[in-house]
Amino acid sequence: MTRAQHNALGTPSATSESPRKPNALSRPLGAAIVMLAILAVMFGLEVFDQASPVDLDTYGIEAQELDGLPGIFSAPFLHAGYAHLWSNAVPLFVLGWLTLIGGLAQFLVAALGIIVASGLFAWAFTFGDGTQYVIGASGLVFGLLTYLLARGIFTRNGKQILISVVVFVLYGTVLFGVLPTDSGVSWQAHLGGAIGGVVMAWVLSRRQRAGRASTSAKGAAPTL
């Protein structure tokens, strides 16, 4: 915020805190381009994985192995075939786009937090015979879903509440994926991502919550 400054005649010039202009990448078209670029990387990796003798899936999360922890950051970009990739691509584009138009920085921080939470859950709680690799962007999808749902609740912002309602109508039933219903699906990654999304919504909405609390305190009637 800038202080009122005086012009050459000594009278204060009218100043106010101008709203921040949105980053070009957080505008609707820019956000769409970013999400398409992310999906292009995923599809490019899948094409390479299918066409080459290199098994990229081994760069995913190797459960309960210390050297599998770095796979937390690569696993969301790797998929077990095109069907797996397409099942994540559409919701990732929609939810990622809705998150991005709220701000590029918030998207990056939220996505990173969700990826870490999802990956740690998958790494720590995936059990089975032999080496277990967890791959796919579904943990990120679940996290972005709960992030958008929780953000509207925490901020009480009309626009964000509307987004929450739309997201719930479109993808609310997906939340059943946090339950262990299919042995071939990492519900652990889904659950970790969902929890991470709520946590990131709480963390990233703290400024708005603090501002609302301050406004409420100022508007409270004095008591005798």
What is the token pair recorded at 96?
A: 């990622």
CATH 3.30.470.20 assigned to domain 25-209? The reply is no
Asked if 202 contacts 154 with a C-beta cutoff of 8 angstroms, the reply is yes
Is the pLDDT confidence value at 1 over 60?
Answer: no
Banded model confidence at residue 55, pLDDT cuts 50, 70, 90: very high
Angle subtended by helix axes 138-155 and 187-204, to nearest 10: 30
DSSP assignment, residue 9?
Answer: T
Taking only the tens place, the pLDDT of each residue in 98-138 is 999 989 999 999 999 999 999 999 999 988 776 789 999 99
Q: Band of the pLDDT at 29, cuts 50, 70, 90?
A: very high
The C-alpha atoms of residue 4 and residue 16 are separated, in whole angstroms, by 8
Whether residue 162 has pLDDT greater than 50: yes
- Give the mean pLDDT of the chain: 84
20, pLDDT greater than 70:
no
